[in-house]
Structure 1
Amino acid sequence: MRFVRNFLLGAVAALGLVLPAVAAERAIIVLDGSGSMWAQIDGKARITIARETLHEVLSTLPDDLELGFMTYGHREKGNCADIEMLVEPATGTGAAIAAAADGINPKGMTPISDAVRLAAEDLQFTEQKATVILITDGLETCEVDPCALASELEAQGIDFTTHVLGFGLSDDEGQQVACLAENTGGKYLSANDGDALVEALTTTVAQIAQAEPEPAPEPEPEPVADYNYKPTASLSEGGPDLASDNADLVWEWYKVAADGSQGDYVGTDYNSDFEGSLEPGDYIMTASMGYASSSQPVPIEAGKVAEPHFILNGVILKLHPRPSEGAEVDDNASIEIRHAGEYVTTNYGDTNLVVPAGALDVDVSIGAATVTRSYDVAAGETIDEDVIVGVGLAKVTSLYVEGMPVEADIFIEVFAAQKAIDGGRKSVAYQYGGDLDFELAQGDYVAAYRLGGAEGEVPFSVKTEELTEVAIVLDAGILAVTTPGDKYVEVFGAAKSIDGSRKSFHYGYGPDVQAALPAGDYVVATTIGDAVTETPVTIKGGERFELTVEAAAGKTK
């Protein structure tokens, strides 16, 4: 990853040497500071990757670039007005922007549209040329249409442009924010890891910082054609050309590096009817739909139209997860897809994806119930299947005694009833609370509970499409001990074992120690100074026993 970043940064520096010096544009970077930026990519939080990217990319900027920095969702949860300009546009702000990004603590909403509008207004976009670079890992959550906003800003601005860097967005999600760029003449770039984000931001900022001056007007040659390449793609060799008018089919093109490998990024476009123009030269193009893709060299020659065809070797996977026969599709069902043993993606609910052909394994989960489907599919084929997971509902209710529900956060863990050869059992699911629902596959289970010193197990069975009510009656009460200061308290069972020891049920430090205990006799041992006070108590189911230990050793009440 470091090699790729250094290579890209070097490329930007090289641009600064070969292009003529010009007056820099004014621009603002808007960084997503919403709570979703804590999600991880390859074990590292997205906000951390974004911070590192800003440090590396901005360290190479020209001193005369006027650049500002704005964020949103970083101070409050649920507040669509939580937008803040952290660094006003000025020259030499690279270090200040990187430092400001280090201080962002993601936590709130994603008011993309209002943030872009405020950035445009700060740049006086109705009076002069202005550019906004939006880095986001989520979609608009504040009920403003980003597409309509982009059209409005384009109509009002002198020369206003928004570039959007979609960080960790799926293709479908990317298209919901790409219009911010497309409607203002900007670019939408997708980045799914740190390397890709460095590349996308480097490309975008370099275009702003190193824009070539307007050349002297020259007579335009007679156009040979409106375009010089028109690509097509199919899922399989000999299969029909793909038709796409919803940005499902994506074209990306790159320059060819000196060693013949993929070099600098050139552009991206969408849909099957795309027609484009490139400077004559050698390129590497990639066609992709969903998770199937294909790349090949494409030479562009003056006066000719290149018509490359791409074979994606993909299949259409349509899966409809249902808890039982005849039930509605579960929108919360998790569908994990692997190709040749390698993870591809996880989708939720009704699924319609293009994935690579070959050996596919799919885990479909509803609650704690999972079924696995395996397929060996040839390119161009379609799998369209209802996946019946077979789910029943276990409703677990916890009571101190009959008629007295547990309101505290009792811990419930569900295990498969059958034990392994070593005596252990497989953990299936767990939750906290006195009234819980577990979606489980048909079978036999054990609900293990623990609340303070009260613990035990309750066996139960689940059947598909049926509700199983599981009542856990603790036959327990509450012991509340008050001590003078932070004294150590430990609760033992009154009965001693054959070796004279007693079972410890709970311990803690005063002045207030409270525990749920099964009905029975106990000894409360309190350490005050060098003295240990032992007080016998009896706990009754459904009742509260309050004990105050005084400072003088040996005195209780």
Structure 2
Amino acid sequence: MTGFSRGVVAAAVGLLWMTTLGQASERIIVILDSSGSMWGQIDGKPKQEIARQSLRSALQSTPADAEIGFMAFGHREKDSCQDIELIVPPATGTSGAITSAMDNLKFQGQTPLTDAVKQAAKALGSSANAPAKIVLITDGVESCKGDPCALGKQLKEGGAGPVVDIVGFGLDADEGRQVACLADATGGKYIQAADAQGLKQALAETVAAPAAAVSPPPAAEQKPVPEEEKTTAKPEETAPPAETAVVEPAVKEADFAPTVMLAQGGAPVSDDNSWQVYKALPDGSRGDLVASQHGAYTGTLPPGDYIVVAQLGEADAEQQLSLKAGETYKPVFVLDAGVLDIKAPGAFRVEIVGAQKDGQGNRKTFAASYGETLEATLPTGDYVVVASHSDGSTRELPASVKTGGKLELTVD
């Protein structure tokens, strides 16, 4: 075989490897702790709200070919250690589905984080070529008799298992050590996030960052080419000149400046609210999340059909819009909502539930917080405030939220 031929074969082998590697897309399952403690507040905002906003932001920066799934625990039952659900299986283009799933979670249950990671690992399976990762976001330690450290060793011994990254949101150093061993054993990392900015950065490093790539095979040993095999490429073998690239003109975008208010004709809200912009599917449902902002929205969007959701606290408003190139859009979103400001002296937990019970006698939880105070933005309607005390007693008080109003309530 001539030196020229050997070079062609080596290049082909390298190209084949790179192509195979490119086809092995990254697979991730994000697990969000949906236990009741996520209603605890950091800097005046519930942890669950901070977590959802931070994860929305991270999903916008994931590679297009990444297969991302979403799992939650503690979101359906208060006292069950089996309440674990893979809501969105790993696949490409799942940002919209994950965001929608997050928006419908109830944060109320236990923390079976060991079994959740075990189920996520099983769902990902094992592969020597496709990098796989689990990202666990939790504000608490195991509460269902699981052993995170033992699971870490089990996953490591199994071989070709996923890397587990853990983000401890608001955990202290001792609590962090109880879960960090799981990440360490699998080659992952434990990141402690104390506030919203810390959580956003942690998710940028875990969810948005690609998993470790699979190492290529060692290069073949290069042998010297004998003089008699050295050849000079013939003129016809010379590569043709590269074609001149054609630059397509940029598509002009639409200016987009929406506003949101509690009541028709009221003052615009530009603090603590959030925006999510989804591609609109032909059937009118939400597609992929394409933009997300907190506070006042400023920016542009490519021409097309979108579903835009404005959210403040537990209230939201949605519109489907068709944007044209070069035009300016200033839609107004009315939440039809009000504010409920609660003080419950001596209580260790305050909860706002719906006034109506379902067929099983349960009432939907709209907001909750550990401590004596709670302020929440809620859709107009009737509610019941439940204040729980350390002696096991509870006190309830009805509350009616009016559009654009603020109701201050004391539960003695």
What TM-score range do you get, normalising by the shorter chain? 0.3 to 0.5
State the structure with more CA Rg: 1
Q: TM-score, normalised by structure 1?
A: 0.35
Q: TM-score, normalised by structure 2?
A: 0.46
Structure number with greater CO (CA < 8 Å, separation at least 6) is: 2
